[in-house]
Amino acid sequence: MQTIKNTGYGFSTRAVHAGEEPDFREGATGDVIVPIHLSTTFARKKVTVPTGGYEYTRSLNPTRKALETKLAALENAKYGLAFSSGLAAETTVLLSLLKSGDHIVAFDDLYGGTKRLFNHIFNEYGISTTFVDATDISRLEEIIERQTKLIWIESPSNPLLKICDIRSIANIAHENNLLLIVDNTFLSPYFQKPLDLGADIVVHSSTKYIGGHSDVLGGAVLLNDEDYYQQIAYRQNAVGAVLSPFDSYLTLRGIKTLSLRMEQHQKNALEIARFLEKHPEIDKVIYPGLDSHPQHELAKKQSSGFGGVLSFEMKGSREDAEHFLERLTLFALAESLGGVESLIELPAVMTHASIAKEVREKIGITDTLIRVSVGIEDVEDLIDDMRNALLPEKFSNFFA
């Protein structure tokens, strides 16, 4: 039977069916949903012939394999690997591709955990990183060294939502015999497909939009090159950074509504961004879907949507920002993003607290920058929650 992955079906059809086609072979049950294969080991009749290719669930598991097939289908990739977390995915990629003495060029606006990995883990093994504003293509080219092996970017970035020109950076990478790795977590494969734009490897924290319900930790790596796939898969098995069968099932379940959720996330985020732009207590709103975003046209060119994350600068002090956050009711004051519920946080003391204050402020992460992961609730309720938390007694006339 032809698999969904290798056909011209649309995104939502692949999200539902890829990797989970019913098995009608003799003895099979025709499951519509791939079962959770909890067995840690698999019996065989012949000493040298693993049954169905399965030996030990760390090496290969049917439920995880179904997820990897689905992820590859959605990202237009030949190969997919599911990991125990986004950072496990990133670590395994770097272990597979780099050695002591190598150099990384990385966007200066990255998830704090990724920067910690570069600055405090891999640097101890002789792998150095230079951070640069990757929206400045000429500057990025200038810092490529003889020892540089790869370029690492997020687009949109975390938490400043800067947009990189993925195709142009891919061209620069390949002209210099480098790899381009793109963290596509913020937009998901529904809104953006970096491999189609020339990236070599895509990574995700599948904890976020792919899982979509804040109940399963995971990561993913998607790519087209067989040699790199074999290297990464070998090390994933060797270090054991695999997603469990049950977590694979939860992620498979979440993916089925990815297109529906992303549309609602985006719709709500745009309305909230427009509300905040008009509020007198807000200094700046950062959302690629706004005309005011400096890379709005680039975002429209390389992506089919703008996602559900926005950031904004409050006027006043960090204490003012904290008081606003603590008065909210519907927005959960919590790290992470991409769930059906709305989350809000203060990056300077939460997701990016591991980055030195002077480094944070140099790239624009101030003490009053707030990041919002807009959920799929009724947007009128979310706006009311923000309105009530933004010193309503002071601005009652403004909202009359």
**Which one is the CATH code of 258-389: 3.90.420.10, 3.40.50.1390, 3.40.50.2300, 3.90.1150.10?**
3.90.1150.10
The answer to whether 208 is a known catalytic residue is yes
Choose, from 70, 162, 208, 360, the residue flagged as catalytic. 208
Q: How many CB atoms lie within 10 A of CB 10?
A: 8
Strand order in the sheet with 179-183: 79-83, 219-223, 201-204, 179-183, 148-154, 103-107, 128-132
The whole model's pTM is what?
A: 0.94
Fold identical between 4-255 and 258-389? no
The answer to whether 183 is a known catalytic residue is yes
The answer to whether 108 is a known catalytic residue is no
- Flag residues of the chain having pLDDT under 50: 1-2, 395-400
Would you kindly state where each structural domain of the chain is located, as residue ranges? 4-255, 258-389
Choose, from 9, 58, 320, 327, the residue flagged as catalytic. 58
Question: What pLDDT score was predicted for residue 230?
Answer: 98
Q: Which CATH architecture has domain 4-255?
A: 3-Layer(aba) Sandwich (3.40)
Choose, from 54, 79, 111, 228, the residue flagged as catalytic. 111
Where b means 16+ CB within 10 Å and e means fewer, 58-91 reads: bbbbbbbbbbbbbbbbbbbbebbbbbbbbbbbbb
Q: Which of 175, 170, 174 is nearest to 195 (CA)?
A: 170
Q: What is the DSSP string of 150-181?
A: EEEEESS-TTT-----HHHHHHHHHHTT-EEE
Rounded Cα gap, residues 169 and 279, in angstroms: 36
The answer to whether 58 is a known catalytic residue is yes
Q: What is the pLDDT of residues 18-39, one digit of tens each?
A: 999 888 888 888 889 999 999 9
Q: What is the pLDDT of residues 63-108, one digit of tens each?
A: 999 999 999 999 999 999 999 999 999 999 999 999 999 999 999 9
Q: Which of 167, 232, 225 is nearest to 193 (CA)?
A: 167
Choose, from 183, 200, 247, 385, the residue flagged as catalytic. 183
Rounded Cα gap, residues 21 and 222, in angstroms: 21
